[in-house]
Protein backbone atom coordinates (compact mmCIF):
# COMPACT_ATOMS: atom_id res chain seq x y z
CA UNK A 1 0.00 0.00 0.00
CA UNK A 2 1.51 3.38 -0.93
CA UNK A 3 2.21 6.13 1.57
CA UNK A 4 -0.12 9.04 0.77
CA UNK A 5 1.18 12.55 1.45
CA UNK A 6 -1.40 15.21 0.54
CA UNK A 7 0.14 18.58 -0.28
CA UNK A 8 -1.59 21.40 1.59
CA UNK A 9 -0.45 23.84 -1.08
CA UNK A 10 -3.79 23.16 -2.78
CA UNK A 11 -5.95 23.48 0.34
CA UNK A 12 -8.13 26.42 1.41
CA UNK A 13 -5.93 28.39 3.81
CA UNK A 14 -8.92 30.25 5.19
CA UNK A 15 -10.09 26.88 6.47
CA UNK A 16 -6.76 25.43 7.48
CA UNK A 17 -8.07 23.81 10.66
CA UNK A 18 -10.87 22.07 8.74
CA UNK A 19 -8.44 20.95 6.03
CA UNK A 20 -6.13 19.49 8.70
CA UNK A 21 -9.07 17.74 10.38
CA UNK A 22 -10.08 16.30 7.04
CA UNK A 23 -6.59 14.82 6.59
CA UNK A 24 -6.48 13.64 10.21
CA UNK A 25 -9.70 11.70 9.71
CA UNK A 26 -8.59 10.31 6.35
CA UNK A 27 -6.20 7.53 5.40
CA UNK A 28 -3.49 10.09 4.60
CA UNK A 29 -0.14 9.08 6.07
CA UNK A 30 1.87 12.30 6.01
CA UNK A 31 1.18 16.02 5.67
CA UNK A 32 3.30 17.35 2.76
CA UNK A 33 4.23 21.01 3.31
CA UNK A 34 5.68 22.96 0.38
CA UNK A 35 7.90 25.86 1.43
CA UNK A 36 8.96 28.21 -1.41
CA UNK A 37 11.21 31.25 -1.22
CA UNK A 38 10.71 33.01 -4.57
CA UNK A 39 14.40 32.49 -5.32
CA UNK A 40 15.05 28.80 -5.76
CA UNK A 41 11.60 28.57 -7.34
CA UNK A 42 9.59 31.37 -8.98
CA UNK A 43 6.87 31.34 -6.35
CA UNK A 44 6.40 32.08 -2.64
CA UNK A 45 4.18 29.85 -0.52
CA UNK A 46 4.38 29.82 3.28
CA UNK A 47 7.05 29.49 5.93
CA UNK A 48 7.82 28.64 9.52
CA UNK A 49 4.77 30.07 11.35
CA UNK A 50 2.37 28.16 9.10
CA UNK A 51 4.33 24.93 9.51
CA UNK A 52 4.26 25.42 13.29
CA UNK A 53 0.49 25.93 13.28
CA UNK A 54 -0.12 22.87 11.11
CA UNK A 55 2.07 20.92 13.54
CA UNK A 56 -0.39 21.84 16.31
CA UNK A 57 -3.28 20.56 14.20
CA UNK A 58 -2.03 17.02 13.57
CA UNK A 59 -0.10 14.14 15.04
CA UNK A 60 0.70 12.71 11.60
CA UNK A 61 4.28 13.20 10.33
CA UNK A 62 4.98 16.56 8.70
CA UNK A 63 6.93 16.02 5.48
CA UNK A 64 8.48 19.42 4.80
CA UNK A 65 9.67 20.07 1.24
CA UNK A 66 12.04 23.04 1.18
CA UNK A 67 12.19 24.71 -2.22
CA UNK A 68 14.57 27.33 -0.90
CA UNK A 69 18.16 28.41 -1.26
CA UNK A 70 20.53 27.90 1.67
CA UNK A 71 18.25 25.47 3.51
CA UNK A 72 20.97 24.85 6.10
CA UNK A 73 20.30 28.30 7.57
CA UNK A 74 16.76 27.28 8.49
CA UNK A 75 17.01 23.56 9.30
CA UNK A 76 17.06 24.07 13.08
CA UNK A 77 14.07 26.43 12.88
CA UNK A 78 12.06 23.87 10.92
CA UNK A 79 12.86 21.28 13.58
CA UNK A 80 11.51 23.67 16.22
CA UNK A 81 8.44 24.33 14.04
CA UNK A 82 7.76 20.58 14.12
CA UNK A 83 9.06 19.10 10.87
CA UNK A 84 9.53 15.32 11.04
CA UNK A 85 11.07 15.01 7.58
CA UNK A 86 13.14 17.76 6.03
CA UNK A 87 13.66 17.56 2.27
CA UNK A 88 16.19 19.83 0.58
CA UNK A 89 16.88 20.22 -3.13
CA UNK A 90 19.97 18.70 -4.68
CA UNK A 91 20.18 21.74 -6.97
CA UNK A 92 20.20 24.18 -4.03
CA UNK A 93 22.95 22.49 -2.01
CA UNK A 94 26.60 22.64 -3.03
CA UNK A 95 27.42 20.98 0.32
CA UNK A 96 24.62 18.45 0.28
CA UNK A 97 26.39 15.93 2.52
CA UNK A 98 26.72 18.57 5.22
CA UNK A 99 23.05 19.54 4.89
CA UNK A 100 21.94 15.93 5.19
CA UNK A 101 24.08 15.30 8.27
CA UNK A 102 22.75 18.48 9.85
CA UNK A 103 19.14 17.37 9.35
CA UNK A 104 19.84 13.97 10.88
CA UNK A 105 21.75 15.44 13.80
CA UNK A 106 18.75 17.66 14.49
CA UNK A 107 16.66 14.49 14.77
CA UNK A 108 14.67 14.64 11.54
CA UNK A 109 14.48 12.23 8.64
CA UNK A 110 16.58 13.55 5.77
CA UNK A 111 15.32 13.78 2.22
CA UNK A 112 16.76 15.07 -1.04
CA UNK A 113 14.58 16.25 -3.91
CA UNK A 114 15.71 16.22 -7.53
CA UNK A 115 14.30 18.37 -10.32
CA UNK A 116 13.09 16.78 -13.56
CA UNK A 117 16.41 17.42 -15.34
CA UNK A 118 18.59 15.99 -12.57
CA UNK A 119 19.66 12.37 -13.15
CA UNK A 120 19.08 9.94 -10.27
CA UNK A 121 22.66 8.71 -10.76
CA UNK A 122 23.90 11.95 -9.17
CA UNK A 123 22.61 10.63 -5.83
CA UNK A 124 24.95 7.63 -5.97
CA UNK A 125 27.34 8.91 -3.30
CA UNK A 126 24.70 10.22 -0.90
CA UNK A 127 22.08 7.50 -1.20
CA UNK A 128 23.26 5.60 1.88
CA UNK A 129 22.62 8.67 4.02
CA UNK A 130 19.10 9.38 2.82
CA UNK A 131 15.80 8.40 4.39
CA UNK A 132 13.81 9.80 1.46
CA UNK A 133 14.44 10.68 -2.18
CA UNK A 134 11.81 13.00 -3.63
CA UNK A 135 11.58 12.70 -7.39
CA UNK A 136 9.99 15.84 -8.78
CA UNK A 137 7.68 14.88 -11.62
CA UNK A 138 6.98 18.55 -12.44
CA UNK A 139 9.19 21.62 -12.23
CA UNK A 140 8.86 22.74 -8.62
CA UNK A 141 7.05 25.97 -7.75
CA UNK A 142 3.41 25.40 -8.60
CA UNK A 143 0.63 22.93 -7.99
CA UNK A 144 -1.69 21.71 -10.71
CA UNK A 145 0.92 20.92 -13.38
CA UNK A 146 1.11 17.94 -15.73
CA UNK A 147 3.12 14.86 -14.74
CA UNK A 148 6.33 14.56 -16.81
CA UNK A 149 6.27 11.00 -18.23
CA UNK A 150 10.07 10.56 -18.17
CA UNK A 151 9.82 10.56 -14.35
CA UNK A 152 8.70 6.94 -14.55
CA UNK A 153 12.03 5.71 -15.85
CA UNK A 154 13.84 7.73 -13.17
CA UNK A 155 11.72 6.05 -10.49
CA UNK A 156 12.47 2.62 -11.99
CA UNK A 157 16.19 3.27 -12.14
CA UNK A 158 16.35 4.55 -8.58
CA UNK A 159 14.24 1.70 -7.21
CA UNK A 160 16.52 -0.82 -8.87
CA UNK A 161 19.58 0.79 -7.32
CA UNK A 162 18.02 1.00 -3.85
CA UNK A 163 16.97 -2.66 -3.99
CA UNK A 164 20.42 -3.70 -5.24
CA UNK A 165 22.01 -1.98 -2.27
CA UNK A 166 19.35 -3.26 0.13
CA UNK A 167 18.62 0.25 1.40
CA UNK A 168 15.41 1.24 3.23
CA UNK A 169 15.24 4.58 1.38
CA UNK A 170 11.72 5.77 0.58
CA UNK A 171 11.07 6.97 -2.97
CA UNK A 172 8.51 9.77 -2.93
CA UNK A 173 7.04 11.26 -6.11
CA UNK A 174 5.76 14.82 -6.27
CA UNK A 175 3.85 16.70 -8.96
CA UNK A 176 0.96 15.94 -11.27
CA UNK A 177 -0.01 12.73 -9.48
CA UNK A 178 -3.59 11.76 -10.33
CA UNK A 179 -5.86 8.75 -9.89
CA UNK A 180 -5.14 7.94 -13.53
CA UNK A 181 -1.35 7.77 -13.32
CA UNK A 182 -0.83 6.75 -9.66
CA UNK A 183 -0.83 3.03 -10.38
CA UNK A 184 1.95 3.29 -12.96
CA UNK A 185 3.99 5.43 -10.54
CA UNK A 186 3.68 2.77 -7.84
CA UNK A 187 4.46 0.02 -10.34
CA UNK A 188 7.60 1.92 -11.36
CA UNK A 189 8.77 1.65 -7.75
CA UNK A 190 7.53 4.65 -5.76
CA UNK A 191 6.69 4.13 -2.08
CA UNK A 192 5.07 7.48 -1.39
CA UNK A 193 2.81 9.78 -3.44
CA UNK A 194 2.44 13.51 -2.96
CA UNK A 195 -0.78 14.86 -4.34
CA UNK A 196 -2.35 18.29 -3.93
CA UNK A 197 -4.79 19.31 -6.62
CA UNK A 198 -6.37 15.88 -7.11
CA UNK A 199 -7.24 15.66 -3.42
CA UNK A 200 -8.22 19.19 -2.48
CA UNK A 201 -10.15 19.99 -5.65
CA UNK A 202 -12.09 16.72 -5.45
CA UNK A 203 -15.76 16.74 -4.48
CA UNK A 204 -14.91 14.24 -1.75
CA UNK A 205 -11.23 14.61 -0.71
CA UNK A 206 -11.42 11.93 1.93
CA UNK A 207 -12.77 9.32 -0.49
CA UNK A 208 -10.12 10.39 -3.02
CA UNK A 209 -7.35 9.76 -0.47
CA UNK A 210 -8.85 6.35 0.14
CA UNK A 211 -8.80 5.62 -3.59
CA UNK A 212 -5.10 6.52 -3.76
CA UNK A 213 -4.45 4.26 -0.79
CA UNK A 214 -6.26 1.28 -2.34
CA UNK A 215 -5.33 1.61 -6.04
Question: Known catalytic residues?
Answer: 34, 174
Q: How far is the CB of 32 from ligand DX5 (least distance, A)?
A: 6
Q: What is the DSSP string of 106-123?
A: TT-EEEEEE-TTS-GGGG
3-class SS at 32?
Answer: strand
Beta carbons of 198 and 209 less than 8 angstroms apart: no
- Segment interacting with ligand DX5 (CB under 6 A) among 14-22, 69-77, 96-104, 142-150: 142-150
Which residue blocks in the chain are alpha helix, DSSP H?
A: 16-24, 48-56, 75-81, 96-105, 151-165, 182-188, 197-200, 205-213
Contact status: 26 vs ligand DX5 (CB under 6 A): no
Closest residue to Zn ion using C-beta atoms: 65
Contact status: 34 vs Zn ion (CB under 5 A): yes
Spatial separation of the C-alpha atoms in residues 173 and 151, rounded to whole Å: 9
108: left (phi over 0), alpha (psi -120 to 50) or beta: beta
Q: How far is the CB of 67 from ligand DX5 (least distance, A)?
A: 6
Contact status: 89 vs Zn ion (CB under 5 A): no
Per-residue x/- marks for ligand DX5, 101-140, CB under 6 A? -------------------------------------x-x
Tell how strand 192-195 and strand 109-114 pair up: unpaired
Contact status: 176 vs ligand DX5 (CB under 6 A): yes
65: left (phi over 0), alpha (psi -120 to 50) or beta: beta
In this complex, which beta carbon is closest to ligand DX5, that of residue 4 or of residue 161? 4
In this complex, which beta carbon is closest to ligand DX5, that of residue 82 or of residue 143? 143
- For ligand DX5, the binding residues in 182-211 under the rule CB under 6 A are 194-198
Among positions 152, 174, 181, 192, the unique one binding ligand DX5 when judged by CB under 6 A: 174
130, burial (CB in 10 Å: exposed 0-12, middle 13-18, buried 19+): buried
Residue ranges in contact with ligand DX5 by CB under 6 A: 7, 9-10, 32, 34, 65, 138, 140-145, 174-177, 194-198
Amino acid sequence: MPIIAPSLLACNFLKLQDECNLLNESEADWFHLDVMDGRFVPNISFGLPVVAQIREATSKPCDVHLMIEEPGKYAADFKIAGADHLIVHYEACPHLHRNVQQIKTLGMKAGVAINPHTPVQLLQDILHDLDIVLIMSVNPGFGGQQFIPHSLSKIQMLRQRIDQLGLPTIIEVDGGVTLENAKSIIEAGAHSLVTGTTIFKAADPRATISRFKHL
